[in-house]
């Protein structure tokens, strides 16, 4: 891992009140380096030799609780994780953007530029979380398809 990257990850951990540990740094790096959400099986495959499943599970739940990552389910109901916006805090997520799942490659994207509208609720109802999941073909798959059609 590069020195400046490590610094960035250490800062993220400290900012959220977590001690810097090797498993936490590795998981953060994997999630950080992808432009799509990373699934738990993906993480197990890529850092499984380094970190056992229980540790991975604990790291992911601590990150989610502290507001470092948020969870999105893919088309198969598998949990995937993406980095949070900087406004997320402990037990308080602000990831009100559209999640796009590709029906071809099953990648999950955070479309952070598309924010969700405010929804007014009938009296007596309190919204804790709103999620909008769009399903379609992602730009990578479309490019591949266009190339094979040509
Ligand atoms: Zn969040
Ligand atoms: Zn795709
Ligand atoms: Zn997201």
Residue 146 Cα to ligand 2 midpoint, Å, equals: 13
Query: Given a cut of 90, is residue 29 above it in pLDDT?
Result: yes
Please name which ligand lies nearest the alpha carbon of 63. 1
Please give the Cα distance from 141 to 147 (Å, whole number): 10
Query: Given a cut of 80, is residue 1 above it in pLDDT?
Result: no
Better-predicted residue by pLDDT, 50 or 38: 38
Better-predicted residue by pLDDT, 117 or 36: 36
Selection from 20, 14, 17 nearest residue 1 by Cα: 20
As annotated, the binding site for Fe cation includes: 93, 95
- Residue 24 and residue 18 in contact, taking contact as beta carbons nearer than 8 Å: yes
Residue 138 Cα to ligand 2 midpoint, Å, equals: 4
> Around ion ligand 3, which residues have CB less than 5 A away?
82, 95, 110
Domains of the chain: 3-149 (1.10.10.10)
Residue 91 Cα to ligand 1 midpoint, Å, equals: 9
Where does 92-131 show beta strands of DSSP type E?
Answer: 97-102, 108-115
Check residue 118 and give its pLDDT.
Answer: 83
Check residue 131 and give its pLDDT.
Answer: 85
Check residue 87 and give its pLDDT.
Answer: 86
Q: What digits encode the pLDDT tens for the residues 42-59?
A: 999 998 788 999 999 999
Residue 63 Cα to ligand 2 midpoint, Å, equals: 27
Query: Given a cut of 90, is residue 31 above it in pLDDT?
Result: yes
Q: What digits encode the pLDDT tens for the residues 82-134?
A: 999 888 999 888 888 999 999 999 999 999 998 888 888 999 998 887 889 99
As annotated, the binding site for Zn(2+) includes: 102, 105, 138, 141
Report residue 124 as tokens: 């007596």
- Residue 136 and residue 103 in contact, taking contact as beta carbons nearer than 8 Å: yes
Q: What digits encode the pLDDT tens for the residues 18-27?
A: 999 999 999 9
Please name which ligand lies nearest the alpha carbon of 92. 1
Query: Given a cut of 90, is residue 16 above it in pLDDT?
Result: yes
Query: Which residues does residue 87 pair with via DSSP β-bridges, in sequence order?
Result: none
């Amino acid at each position: 891992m590069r020195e400046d990257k490590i610094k960035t990850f250490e800062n993220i951990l400290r900012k959220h009140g977590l001690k810097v540990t090797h498993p936490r740094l590795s998981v953060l790096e994997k999630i950080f380096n992808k432009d799509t959400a990373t699934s738990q099986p993906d993480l197990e495959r890529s850092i499984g030799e380094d970190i056992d499943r229980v540790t991975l599970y604990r790291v992911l739940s601590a990150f989610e609780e502290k507001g470092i990552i948020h969870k999105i389910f893919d088309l198969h109901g598998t949990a995937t994780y993406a980095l949070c916006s900087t406004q997320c805090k402990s037990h308080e997520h602000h990831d009100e953007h559209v999640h796009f799942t590709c029906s071809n490659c099953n990648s999950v994207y955070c479309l952070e530029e598309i924010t969700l509208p405010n929804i007014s609720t009938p009296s007596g109802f309190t919204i804790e979380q709103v999620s909008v999941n769009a399903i379609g073909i992602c730009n990578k798959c479309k490019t591949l398809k266009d190339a094979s059609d040509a």
